[in-house]
Amino acid sequence: MAHTPLVLLIRDGWGLNPNPDHAAFDAVRLAKTPVADRLMREWPWTLIKTSGEDVGLPEGTMGNSEVGHQNIGAGRIVDQESVAITKACRAGLEKNEVIAAAIRRSVAGGKSVHLMGINSDAGVHGMLEHLYACLRACKALGQSRVYIHLFTDGRDTGPFTGLEFARRVEAAAREIGVGRVASVIGRYYAMDRDNRWERVHKAFACLTGRDSQRLEVRLASDTVSAFQRYYDSPTNDSQKGDEFILPTIVGSPDEACASRITEGDCVIFYNYRGDRPREITGAFVFPDERWSKVKPSPDTGRNGFDRGSKLTLDYVIMTEYWEELLPYCTVAFPKPPKMRNILGECLSSRNLTQFRCAETEKYPHVTFFFNDYRGEPFPGERRENPQSPKVATYDLKPEMAASEVRDAVLRRLASPDGEDLIVVNFANGDMVGHTGVLTAAIKACEVVDGCVGAIVEATLKRSGSLIVTADHGNAEQMFDPATNSPHTAHTIYDVPLIVVGEIARGRQLRGDTDPGGWFLPEARARRGRLADIAPTALAIMGLPKPPEMTGESLFAE
């Protein structure tokens, strides 16, 4: 096999900021990264696009890890579900059979409809436009008992933008004529994805009213108070802003009681991204036997939490969040058929082996999303999942589990039965970047750089090759001059891609390496995109590109 093993190394959240006046808060630039500097001097590199229409999202929309890894693994631009859902929303969700039927059943049974999801316009996990479409569908179908449960963002948006978004939601509800904000819950609690059930329990208690006093769920008379109380008195200095807002019930005591999720109600979860709705949804819909078998919390070792008797709900999820949930929910927008001849399948069909490795925060991305929402590995695909550290926020430990990920890859490179392809993700740049703490993000980049150096050395000793790149940017902008506050979201900037190994020596890659090219439409048009990575990998491995892959190799000739 030509130029293998091939290591596809994804430095999550490591972009190139083209703005010279951002130098003071560009963690990638400020970090001491001798390995990255050397690789970009000695090997061919280019800039590739990771956002908007280049990854199947609306123009100008930032990329994210789910979309990025799906595009990388597919070798083609993957039209994202959010685009199709937005089109359906504009046509009227009362025309969607699943949503309309659920709302009609709630009306006929005298039950409430609960709309819950992200309170954000970032477009990473969901969109407020989709919430408004759900409200309009309720109005059109005669449902007046509608309660909105907002999961506040602060990661993919500015940390203190949630109140303005909530005001927009309340204005839309007034205009449409139905719906009331009934809960405000930080995504730290409602959208956990690391099996930290003690967080999810607090969100569940807020939504249902169960255990709410024991778990100290807050009560606010109105939405503004719910936000302002936390803004004025955060849990601690590392948990400021919307992401961490303590679960809060909004309304008078009578309104609070009437707006909790109870037996027979309809729930519509309007997020479309699948990783973060899984846990809270499982808490609502899993039968007792399945609920008892959820993965244990890394903090307490407990499987789930005591949720009381399982509620019987008419539970609608926007997309297929997870195969395990599908027997117990209805899906408003089922996924299209699985793509054929994605990178993992191409290798497996040729009896080639592959290794996927990332710590907990990014493990679904190098497996489930990279494989186009397939949960099971392909034949010949091996996986390893080091545990992310037990900290409240990753600025407290910017190293995360990078050394464990590095060591897992080094073991496979040293093994006599090592794989042909290794896909590895280092989460630090993204996860620490989301905290908005510049010093921690600098440290995160430096840690990743050291790990990359060890993997490069081991790969070249085996006469292998590497593609070093990112799925999207983040750490290259840690402050927002427009709002004079930390920048905690992804960016839409392009990311470096470096090819290392003898196959790349003396060769050129398509596109350019000029940061200023970001501002020149003709320069950006010539740049590659994430969809070009799989064809490049196949070229390095001496394998033909299947016709389904519409991406092109990044080698210039």
pLDDT tens for the chain, 557 residues: list them.
578 999 999 999 999 999 999 999 999 999 999 999 999 999 999 999 999 999 999 889 999 999 999 999 999 999 999 999 999 999 999 999 999 999 999 999 999 999 999 999 989 999 999 999 999 999 999 999 999 999 999 999 999 999 999 999 999 999 999 999 999 999 999 999 999 999 999 999 999 999 888 888 999 999 999 999 999 999 998 899 999 999 999 999 999 999 999 999 999 999 999 999 999 999 999 999 999 999 999 999 999 999 999 999 999 999 999 999 999 999 999 988 999 999 999 999 999 999 999 999 999 999 999 999 999 999 999 999 999 999 989 999 999 999 999 999 999 999 999 999 999 999 999 999 999 999 999 999 999 999 999 999 999 999 999 999 999 999 999 999 999 999 999 999 999 999 999 999 999 999 999 999 999 999 999 999 999 999 999 999 999 999 999 999 999 97
Cα(475)–Cα(445) distance, integer angstroms: 8
Instruction: Tell me whether residue 195 is in a domain.
Output: yes
Cα(52)–Cα(262) distance, integer angstroms: 40
- Which of 491, 497, 494 has the alpha carbon at shortest distance from 533? 497
Which 3-state string (H, E, C) describes 96-121?
A: CHHHHHHHHHHHHHCCCEEEEEEECC
User: SS3 helix, strand, coil % of the chain, rounded to 5?
Assistant: 40, 15, 45
Cα(269)–Cα(332) distance, integer angstroms: 10
Coil vs helix vs strand at 175:
helix
Which amino acid type is present at position 526? R
Q: Is 65 a catalytic residue?
A: yes
Task: Tally the domains of the chain.
Answer: 2
Task: Please name the helix (run of DSSP H) or strand (run of DSSP E) that holds residue 219, with its range, or none.
Answer: strand 218-220
53 & 175 share domain = no
pLDDT at 1: 54
Coil vs helix vs strand at 495:
strand
Locate 441 and state its tokens. 């993000």
pLDDT at 484: 93
Instruction: Tell me whether residue 172 is in a domain.
Output: yes
202 & 69 share domain = no
275 & 385 share domain = no
The count of C-alpha atoms lying within 13 angstroms of the C-alpha of 29, restricted to the half-sphere facing its C-beta, is 15
Cα(279)–Cα(193) distance, integer angstroms: 7
Strands 465-469 and 495-500: antiparallel
Q: Are 392 and 238 in contact, with CB atoms under 8 Å apart?
A: yes
CATH number at residue 217: 3.40.1450.10
Q: Are 552 and 511 in contact, with CB atoms under 8 Å apart?
A: no
CATH number at residue 74: 3.40.720.10
Q: How many helices (H) and strands (E) does the chain have?
A: 20, 18
Burial 503-514 (b: 16+ CB within 10 A, else e): bbeeeebbbbee
CA angle 240, 358, 425 (to 5 degrees): 85
50 & 105 share domain = no
Cα(447)–Cα(31) distance, integer angstroms: 10
Sign of the torsion formed by the C-alpha atoms of 498, 499, 502 and 507: negative
The count of C-alpha atoms lying within 13 angstroms of the C-alpha of 231, restricted to the half-sphere facing its C-beta, is 15
241 & 121 share domain = yes
517 & 419 share domain = yes
50 & 193 share domain = no
The count of C-alpha atoms lying within 13 angstroms of the C-alpha of 233, restricted to the half-sphere facing its C-beta, is 5
Beta bridge partners of 219: 249
Strands 6-11 and 465-469: parallel
Q: Kindly list the distances between the CA atom of residue 340 and the CA atoms of 73, 344, 390, in Å, as whole numbers in the listed order.
A: 11, 10, 38
455 & 493 share domain = yes
Cα(74)–Cα(422) distance, integer angstroms: 16
Looking at residue 322, the DSSP 8-state letter turns out to be: -
Which amino acid type is present at position 342? I
322 & 400 share domain = no
Q: Are 480 and 487 in contact, with CB atoms under 8 Å apart?
A: yes
Q: How many CB atoms lie within 10 A of CB 476?
A: 28
103 & 77 share domain = no
Instruction: Tell me whether residue 134 is in a domain.
Output: yes
Strands 479-480 and 485-486: antiparallel
Report residue 533: phi and psi, to 5°: -70, -45
Locate 154 and state its tokens. 């602060």
Instruction: Tell me whether residue 550 is in a domain.
Output: no
Locate 148 and state its tokens. 């909105």
Report residue 339: phi and psi, to 5°: -70, 145
Q: What is the arrangement of strands in the sheet containing 330-331, beginning at the earlier edge strand?
A: 218-220, 248-250, 180-186, 146-152, 113-119, 266-269, 314-317, 330-331
Which amino acid type is present at position 143? Q
Instruction: Tell me whether residue 447 is in a domain.
Output: yes
Cα(28)–Cα(335) distance, integer angstroms: 36
31 & 173 share domain = no
Cα(136)–Cα(138) distance, integer angstroms: 5
Domain boundary among 331, 366, 394: 331
Q: Which residue has the tokens 């590659």?
A: 528
Coil vs helix vs strand at 157:
coil
Of 65, 82, 297, 465, catalytic: 65
Q: How many CB atoms lie within 10 A of CB 340?
A: 13
Instruction: Tell me whether residue 336 is in a domain.
Output: no
Q: Kindly list the distances between the CA atom of residue 13 and the CA atoms of 80, 112, 282, 452, in Å, as whole numbers in the listed order.
A: 20, 41, 29, 15
52 & 192 share domain = no
Task: Please name the helix (run of DSSP H) or strand (run of DSSP E) that holds residue 354, with its range, or none.
Answer: strand 354-357
Burial 292-324 (b: 16+ CB within 10 A, else e): eebeebeeeeeebbebeeebebbbbbbbbbbee
pLDDT at 554: 98
Instruction: Tell me whether residue 129 is in a domain.
Output: yes
Q: Kindly list the distances between the CA atom of residue 290 and the CA atoms of 25, 204, 282, 304, 539, in Å, as whole numbers in the listed order.
A: 46, 17, 9, 10, 44
Cα(514)–Cα(463) distance, integer angstroms: 30
Give the domain range for residue 388. Answer: 11-81+353-540
Cα(229)–Cα(196) distance, integer angstroms: 25
Instruction: Tell me whether residue 426 is in a domain.
Output: yes
